[in-house]
Amino acid sequence: MILCKQKTVFFLILIFLLSSKIFGQDAHYSQFYANPLYLNPAFAGSNNCPRFSINFRDQWPAIPGNFLVLSGSYDQHIAAIRSGIGVIVLSDIQGKGMLNTFNASAIYNFRIKVSHKFNLQFALQGGYLTSYVNWSKMETASGMHYEDLSSFSYKEKRGFDAAFGIVGYTPYLYFGIAMHHLFPIQDKLLSGPGEQFKTNWVPKYTAHIGGKITILQKSRNEVNVGDIYLYPNFIFSSQGTFNYMHEGFYFNFYPFTIGGWLRHNFNNVDAFIFSCGVEYKFLRVGYSYDFILNKLEGTGGAHEVSLQFTIPCNNDRVVKKKTKKSMNYEPLDCPKF
């Protein structure tokens, strides 16, 4: 009986992993702006000063074979060339290591000052993506021996990955679009008796827009304890057959922030996301939880933690060679969680 249940759990996990990767769906984060380079590569350098970000997500912790995603990034603006640079790495572990995806890439971002208060940033991202099955983990999770799985064959999926993004912003409005996986990676992931699963890491499209509403600000030049801001936001993402819309807001009573989001597709509501965070000068820590509102409500939702550290700098000016005049580039003032 126990072995039967183990096999059932194993095959349910295997089927879900396969179905979720037939079109190569990307890992999902709920703290969008705490992981800005993952949302849109054009955010590289938007903070001007060097910035480190670490994000961890534990999805569906109440069931066997939950999803763990860990990412880290670094970015900064280089004033002398009016450009931003960044690097981001991500590890997506599914089914307790049965299916694994790793992605590492670098970003180059060029900034244009359209007017005194309007900036545009254009970014290109290139890197390496690989995905593979760990058969030993499958044996352990299912209680089965390798000969029970010998009818399946496996080929690692890997290749060059590319993306581009655009972000525009003023002191009160920010928006952007991004396209990930410009060159679809196609390969045979698993094959069984009379069946084959072809993976296609299809492009992911993202559009986002938000604004900053100042309710109380004690000083025009710096943020002080007790300042109050409201950030309404909308994010749309599409990849293969998956389409999600996110409407939400962040309420910032510095140094504290709380937020609420609704995630849904065109037919059903998926989750309500609650987030909170604290920031002080150059350090930010955030936490969010996904309350599942669909048929997967018994999965335990999703926990997410973010940590961000910014190195103080004076990197907001570019000197024109001909006129020797300075041009100010204000950092993008958007939510941090």
**Residue pLDDT, tens place only, 197-211:** 455 678 999 999 999
Name the pLDDT band for 320 (thresholds 50, 70, 90).
very low
Q: Over the chain, what is the mean pLDDT?
A: 82
Rg (CA), the chain: 22
Indicate the pLDDT class of residue 253, thresholds 50, 70 and 90.
very high
The predicted-structure confidence for 293-309, as pLDDT tens digits, reads as follows: 987 767 888 999 999 99
Q: The pTM is what?
A: 0.85
Q: Is 138 exposed, middle or buried (0-12, 13-18, 19+ CB in 10 A)?
A: buried
Question: Cα(65)–Cα(184) distance, rounded to whole angstroms?
Answer: 27
Q: What range defines the domain where residue 31 resides?
A: 2-206+280-287+297-328
- Confirm whether 181 is domain-assigned: yes
Q: Which residue has the higher pLDDT, 20 or 50?
A: 50
Q: 102 lies in a domain? A: yes
Query: For residue range 81-90, what is the model confidence (pLDDT) as tens digits?
Result: 889 999 999 9
Assess if residue 7 is contained within a domain: yes
258 domain-assigned: no
Residue type for position 29: Y
- Tell me if 261 is assigned to some domain: no
Q: Where are the alpha helices (DSSP H) in the chain?
A: 2-21, 36-39, 135-142, 146-149
Q: Dig out the tokens for 87 from the structure.
A: 């690097």
Is 252 contained in some domain?
A: no
Is residue 219 a part of any domain in this protein? no
**Tokens read off for 141:** 């999770």
Tell me what the mean pLDDT of segment 58-86 comes to.
89
Structure confidence by residue, pLDDT tens digits, 18-43:
444 444 578 889 999 999 999 999 99
Q: How many domains does the chain have?
A: 1
- The answer to the question of residue 244 being in a domain is no
Q: How far apart are CA 165 and CA 216, in angstroms?
A: 33
Contacts of residue 242, defined as CB under 8 A and 6 or more positions apart, other chains included, come to 23, 25, 265
Over residues 218-230, mean pLDDT: 89
